[in-house]
Amino acid sequence: MSLAAISDDPLCAVGTGGIRGRLKVTTAADHHALDERLSQLDLTTTAHYRRFLCASAAALLPLEEALDNAGVALVIDDWAERRRTEAIRADLADLDGTIVAMGLPMRTLDRPALFGTLYVLEGSRLGAAYLLRVVTASADPRVRRATRYLRHGTGLGLWRSFLAQLARERTQPDDEERMIASAREAFAMFAKAMAAV
């Protein structure tokens, strides 16, 4: 099953018009390309799951740092509960993985770019729910235990609450362009990190 199919789940289709719909349409190819890279990994094996976590951390850590530097906590009230850096660090420590974080995005994130980056990070929780089912079928108990990153925020409705805030965000056409560009850059960071492993 493709991860893109997860985001097409009708239960997740809150606010499919407006900027959310434009983000989904304009990043569909980026999302698909990342799914294709992920489909080459067998996440039930220790080596492949470690590679997945290393690649995810390589992109996640600088993106979350960029969001912190941009003052995301002033925009997203529950940002501290949404951060996954420590969860993925703990999983990698359990699997003797190393983190080689990519560099920070070239530009400072303004408010629209902040929302574009969050669209990718928060949306990845949908795919994480599917991947968790795959990982917990592993024969390796270390793999089955190292799921803090994939489980993070389960049951808290973080994707829905993000979409609700995104829908309330007042935007102009150039704001939307910056959101879309930022989302595509975030997808590109994850794709580059996956290609590297």
pLDDT at residue number 98: 93
Query: Does residue 14 carry a pLDDT above 60?
Result: no
**Rounded distance between C-alpha atoms, residue 144 and residue 161, angstroms:** 28
Q: First-to-last CA distance in the chain?
A: 22
Position 103 confidence tier, pLDDT thresholds 50, 70, 90: confident
Give the number of domains in the chain.
1
Classify residue 77 by its DSSP letter.
Answer: T
**Rounded distance between C-alpha atoms, residue 54 and residue 63, angstroms:** 14
**Rounded distance between C-alpha atoms, residue 197 and residue 47, angstroms:** 11
Q: Which of 88, 75, 157, 155 has its CA nearest to residue 116?
A: 75
Determine the structural domain holding residue 38 and report its residue range.
19-196
Q: Which residue has the tokens 């067998």?
A: 42
Q: Which of 62, 2, 60, 56 has its CA nearest to residue 32?
A: 2
Residue at 6 is within a domain: no
Residue at 8 is within a domain: no
**Rounded distance between C-alpha atoms, residue 53 and residue 38, angstroms:** 11
CB 39 within 8 A of CB 5: no
CATH number of domain containing 106: 1.20.910.10
pLDDT at residue number 65: 95
pLDDT at residue number 197: 78
The string of pLDDT tens digits covering residues 132-178 is 999 999 999 999 999 999 999 999 999 999 999 999 999 888 999 99
Residue at 2 is within a domain: no
CB 58 within 8 A of CB 100: yes
Percent share of the chain, pLDDT over 70: 91
Residue at 4 is within a domain: no
Position 12 confidence tier, pLDDT thresholds 50, 70, 90: very low
Residue at 182 is within a domain: yes
Residue at 10 is within a domain: no
pTM, entire model: 0.90
Contacts of 61 (CB under 8 A, 6+ apart): 85, 88, 99, 101
Region 28-35: mean pLDDT is 95
Residue at 49 is within a domain: yes
Residue at 107 is within a domain: yes
The string of pLDDT tens digits covering residues 44-57 is 999 999 999 999 99
